[in-house]
Amino acid sequence: MHERYDDMHEACVRYYVQDETMESIARHLKLSRSSVSRLLSEARNTGMVRISVEAPYGSSSPIARSVSALFSVRVHLAQVGEAASVTTRFERVSRLAAATLRNSVKDGDFIGVAWGVTLSNIVPFLDRCPLHDATIVQMNGGTNYHDTSARHVAAILQALSQTFDARIVQFPVPAFFDYAETKQAMWRERSVQFVRSLQSKIDVAIFGIGTIGARVPSYVYSAGFLDDEDVARMREDGVVGDVCTVLLRKDGSFEDISMNHRASGLTPHELREIPTRIGVVADPSRANSLLGALRARTITDLVCDDTTARALLDLIDHRDH
């Protein structure tokens, strides 16, 4: 095994760093060309070699530069076009988000995850990238009285754990408590305080942007987490969407929204303490809530498509000036 590992490492250095051909490497290692090819393939599959691709032209396009200048964020833009199907849009943005996450994490990192439709679309595009001593931390509760097992949350966490060979720290509380007093009591429990202490150590976070009435329904608004009375109250409060199930207005305000006293996710104040915060949007109908999330400074790296970015800029040009 040690000899094979040494051969694999030398083959990788010669091929990827020294730009040697497979034939030259095969002669040096006294192996066949096909054996060298298998060594290189195994190195990629096990994470010895991590291949990254530079961001496409879209990330330096005029639209991306405008968004970046307005909100002081790094923009990773997928070129999709207005005529693209919902499936195509989500696929291209999800691929770019998966690559952005892989390129952002390193050994020893605490990786924060907020569940949702967007994350469910991203995880199938994550290639294995084993890390040493990494930890996946759930950033917001995921249960409700319709679904106490939160299988959708577990599936996302497990997929990320397998991708990065990382430990999982779950946050076994409701997405929204029925009563603010219950949340306050739970926040005093030592088991909850332990998870929250790990949340404060997160190095890289990834999350979608939830939106009320989005073309692609946000899971938090379509799967029994909120009742009609809750939604009516949210609309009265001017809520357009959420980040980590903490509700936001278009102007980025959130502290005086009554339902946030029952929300279990990290607040924008807490998110801002995380060095790298990857917000992912693949739906132009989420432009209002994306604007709120950007104004709340929850994002350092925005991954979206060109049409969504254009809808965001149109929103600012046409309604806010």
Q: What percent of the chain has pLDDT over 90?
A: 67
Pair 239, 247: CB distance under 8 Å: yes
- Residues in the chain with pLDDT values less than 70: 1-2, 51-58, 146-150, 317-321
SS3 content of the chain, % helix, strand, coil (to 5): 50, 15, 35
**pLDDT computed for residue 57 by the predictor:** 59
**pLDDT computed for residue 223 by the predictor:** 72
Helices (H), the chain: 2-12, 22-29, 33-46, 62-71, 86-104, 117-122, 151-164, 180-186, 190-199, 219-222, 228-236, 268-271, 287-295, 306-319
Strands 210-211 and 239-243: antiparallel
Amino acid at 207: F
Half-sphere exposure of 233 (CA within 13 A, CB side): 11
- 3-state secondary structure (DSSP) of residue 81: coil
> What b-and-e string marks burial along 182-205, b requiring 16 or more CB atoms within 10 Å of the CB?
ebeebeeeeebeebbeebeebbbb
- 3-state secondary structure (DSSP) of residue 113: strand
**pLDDT computed for residue 1 by the predictor:** 57
Four-residue CA torsion sign, 252, 255, 257, 263: positive
**pLDDT computed for residue 135 by the predictor:** 98
Ramachandran angles phi, psi of 312, nearest 5°:
-65, -45
**pLDDT computed for residue 299 by the predictor:** 98
Lookup: tokens for 283: 């739906």
Amino acid at 302: L
Contacts of 234 (CB under 8 A, 6+ apart): 212, 226, 247, 257, 259
Crossing angle, helix 306-319 and helix 62-71, to 10 degrees? 60
> pTM of the prediction?
0.83
3-state secondary structure 51-63: CCCCCCHHHHCHH
216 CB neighbour count, 10 Å cutoff: 17
- Give the Cα separation of 7 and 36 in Å (integer): 9
Task: Name the residue among 49, 202, 64, 58 with its Cα closest to residue 140.
Answer: 202
Four-residue CA torsion sign, 227, 233, 239, 244: negative
Task: Name the residue among 68, 128, 74 with its Cα closest to residue 98.
Answer: 128
- 3-state secondary structure (DSSP) of residue 138: strand
